[in-house]
Structure formats: C-alpha cells, structure tokens
Structure 1
Amino acid sequence: HCPAVQCGVHQPVDSVLDAQPAGHCHELPGRADLQPLAALYGIAPGSELIFGILVLNTGDTFKMGPGGRNPDGVEHVLVDYAEGDGGDVALLGFEDLFGGGDHDYNDANFEIQGGIGFARVSAPASLILLLLGLAALAASSGSILRKSCRQILIPSSK
C-alpha cells in the first residue's frame, strides 16, 4: 500500500534527491540523515535546500518557498522554526491539494534538526550598519533643509 505522498529533497535547480529508487513506492524511514545525499549530489554547506512533495494520486508537486515555485502559484508549506541549545529545529507542514486545500498544513509533515538556520550578522556589525545608515539619513536631511530654507528677499516699499 503506497502512502498518499512521496517525499523528496530538491535543490534550487530542481534536481531531485530521491529517497527511494525511481518507480518504487515505500514510506521513508522515520529518521533520515541528509549528509550522505548532500555529499553525493555536491550540495555545499550553506546552500538552500528546497523540500517538496509529490502527490501520487494527482501527480502534482509542491515545493517550499514562494508560491511561484508551485504550479498553482500558492505557497504550500508552513515552516515553524526555533533555535535551540541542542541545534535548530524546523517543522515543515505541507498542503497537498492544488489551490492550497484547507490550509491546515498537516497533509505531510517533516522535522529537520541540526545545523540549519539563517546567516546571522554579529552585533558589532549590525551596530556599525545602523550608525552608518543614521549618519547617511542625517546628512541627506541636512541637505534637504538647506535647500528648503533659502532666504527670500522682499523689496522694501520706500
């Protein structure tokens, strides 16, 4: 008996990292290590991985990210992300129907743990960028004020 959804990992270039041989249908193990697959397909650390589902009874494929990645133009994945002491955790919930279905995002669920996350900017670097932005704003505001406060000469009535 085949599950309703087949799972796969997609690179931005849409080459599929199949978790099973093509043409076979079986559920993925409860836990899978993606590092060997990443090495096999040359995915470098820091690359974006796009997870997706293939709905077997419709043939539709839906990917995480902006709706433009999906045939119906709708976002099909809800990501709940948390940073933890033992590593970051992302919970992905998918909608499996064209047009977004019932939007409960529980038709296929994945949990990803480990060295995932967003690139962080260090606090000193953020502060420097903030100060540079404020200085540029102050400089442009002063230039605007100088242009708008011109002296207007009014001829005397003598």
Structure 2
Amino acid sequence: MIEDIKSIIENMKKCLKEDPSSIVFGELNDGIGEINEAAILKLGKYYDFLSLTNGARCGDIDFWSYNDLEKNQYVLSDIQDERESWLSIGQILYEPLLINKFDGIVYEFIVDDGSMNSFGELEFFLKNYVFGPSYCKVIPNSENDDWFLFLKKNGRISN
C-alpha cells in the first residue's frame, strides 16, 4: 500500500478518536495481526488494507474485517471464476464491493442487473472515494452525510 494511503488512514484514525460523535458514522480498526502466507495470497491486495485497518466503516462504505470475509463471499456465487479472482471486501449502500485479487481493481457489483462499476485500483479508490472528494459521486445526497462532513472538517475535502 502506498505511503500516502498509510498516512491518510493513520490521520483519519486519530481524527475519529478525537471526535466523540464518530461512532455513528466511522470506524477504522487496528490492523490485522500475523496470518499465514496462504491466507495472504488468498486476500491479494486487500491484505495491505487489512494490515492498516482490519475492517472499517466510512459513512455508507463498509469494509469487511478478516473474520467477516468468509461469510460475505456468497455474493460471488454467480461471478467467481476458476482462478478465484474475486473477493467481496465490503459494501456501498448495501451493494457489494469487490476487488479483483490479481490487478487490485475495485468494483461495485449491482446485484439487480449484474453489472459492475469500476473505481480503479484499491489505493485510488481509498484516496479518492473513501477519504476524498469523490465520496459524493457514489453516495447520493452526501452533502449532509456525516462521513462527508467529517472529511470536510478534517481537510480531506475542500469547501
């Protein structure tokens, strides 16, 4: 994971701890401890994120913790390939958030029609959509969203 994302996540953890109302809209957990090499390979690029925060709630974007991953893979039943390229890593407004384990590109899977929206590589998605101004592109009416306001208050989004 690029150093920029590491510092953003650490800064946001600090800001969340300083804001008592943050429990309602945001949570960045401690990073995952040691796991075996086979598990790391199965997680692909998502392991890097889990090493920084083992699951997260960022407004209407949720990321599964390592312990919750297995029970949330059911959404892949119709799209998983023989290489097991896909990993369900969370959700955006209850639509599954997937990552291709080999290229690190993140997608929103629209269950109703089976389509996917690409958000680019994991680091790009985190920097711009989770912790940046593009949050409002994926969350309708985000101007009054607590996470969006938190990002503005803490300098991640300019006024």
Task: Answer whether TM exceeds 0.5 for this pair.
Answer: no
TM-score, normalization by structure 2: 0.26
TM-score, normalization by structure 1: 0.26
Q: Which of the two has higher C-alpha Rg?
A: 1
